[in-house]
Amino acid sequence: MMRVMKRFFDEFGDENFKTQYEHTRDELGEPGKRYPDITASDAYKDPFPIIRELIESTKLPNSKGFYTHYQFLCESHHGKLLSLHIAKHEDAQYRRNLLYIFIFCRWFLMITDTHIQRVTKDTVDEAVDTANEIVFGNIS
């Protein structure tokens, strides 16, 4: 959250925003953890790569060409087109589109977890297993 706030400050920051950042840091920050001075030019260094780099450098098998799916589903103009496409089609096509979105989200979650050395492995594995059971499990 503090990274996002720093990005906004860099883009739109003023004294009121600086006050809000400091209040959030003091109220919600972890005790003993150092947070950057929001006004320092080098205070924000995001260790997380841009999405294209993340996907191209992933070690997760079969994920190298995944960026086109990200563009189609997540970039605002493509996402709007998909939502219009989903709304116009019959139930079977609607379900296929939802399945496509589900598979994308599952892969993206695994790609991200792999990038951060699987530190969220248990949570991610549980989420993927539960989602797989719901989507691919037997329907009573």
- What is the dihedral angle through the alpha carbons of 26, 30, 123, 59, rounded to the nearest 10 degrees? 100
Mean pLDDT (the chain, rounded): 76
- What is the dihedral angle through the alpha carbons of 87, 134, 102, 128, rounded to the nearest 10 degrees? 160
Q: With beta carbons less than 8 A apart as the criterion, state whether 111 and 93 touch.
A: no
115-128: pLDDT as tens digits: 888 888 999 999 89
pTM of the model: 0.55
Alpha helices in 35-120 (DSSP H): 51-56, 67-74, 76-88, 91-115
Higher pLDDT, 6 or 45: 6
pLDDT surpassing 90 at residue 105: no
80-99: pLDDT as tens digits: 666 666 666 677 777 777 78
58-78: pLDDT as tens digits: 888 888 788 888 887 777 666
